[in-house]
Amino acid sequence: RWFTHFYAVSVLWNGLLLIWLLKTQFLPGSLSSWLQHLHHALDRASQNEYMGNEYFSALLVLLLLWLHSFRRLAECLCTSVFSDGVIHIVHYCFGLGYYIALGLTVLCQVPANFRNGEELSVQICWYHIVGIVMYIWASLHQHRCFVILANLRKSKSGKVINLSHSVPYGDWFESVSCPHYFAELLIYVSMAITLGFHNVTWWFVVLYVLFNQALAAVLCHEFYQNKFSSYPKHRKAFIPFV
């Protein structure tokens, strides 16, 4: 339940960044000095002939990140049924910083020499379409998985009747123990695709999500196997057939 705080921070912070990025396009001015210093530190200050497309890609990914955070916040508040688990204070502080850093990571993909008032040549590319379609597909499956997990603790009328763990069935649960973790990975991969594949920084984010979610999935998979003797043996922990 403590993850609710992470998504609330992400919705507020990344929403502000999204509004600010839109304003820089339509209102006079330029990138803030603090962001220009950040660009220089990351060697992002060089001229780029694809400036318009980089701006558009970053805008799309920041929007997708905000939508993802908003959906997860809504699920935490209205769908999920949490147990009485706790979180380590270090993990909690790291999580808050993580979602703040994510938005800044996307923002740093906007060319440092971008200026308002310039007419940008923006073109919708095939990787934008592929990335968005993959994002929607993974998000839908992740939501279904959270609904399945929540329903395990609810009666048919929707009333919470227990906080115990049960074996989930349906959707991607037929293939893996933690399909919501797998969907999370696919969502971040879809953002990397939307940025045009070549963004090395975001692929490091994808690697972090891969290792993080894989570790959590393996621990959860082992928990299911130890707790339920009849747990389906064909299910994998994280990635189907792997």
Residues 6+ apart with CB under 8 A from 26: 116
Residue 135 — pLDDT band, cuts 50, 70, 90?
very high
With contact defined as beta carbons under 8 Å apart, do 58 and 195 qualify? yes
Distance, CA of 189 to CA of 57 (rounded, Å): 14
The residue type found at 239 is I
> Could you tell me where the DSSP H helices lie in the chain?
3-26, 33-41, 51-78, 89-107, 126-151, 179-194, 200-227
Distance, CA of 81 to CA of 38 (rounded, Å): 40
Query: Residue 137 above 50 pLDDT?
Result: yes
Q: What is the mean pLDDT of residues 33-39?
A: 63
Q: What is the CA radius of gyration of the chain?
A: 20
Q: What is the pTM of this model?
A: 0.89
The residue type found at 181 is Y
Percentage of the chain lying above the pLDDT 70 cut: 83
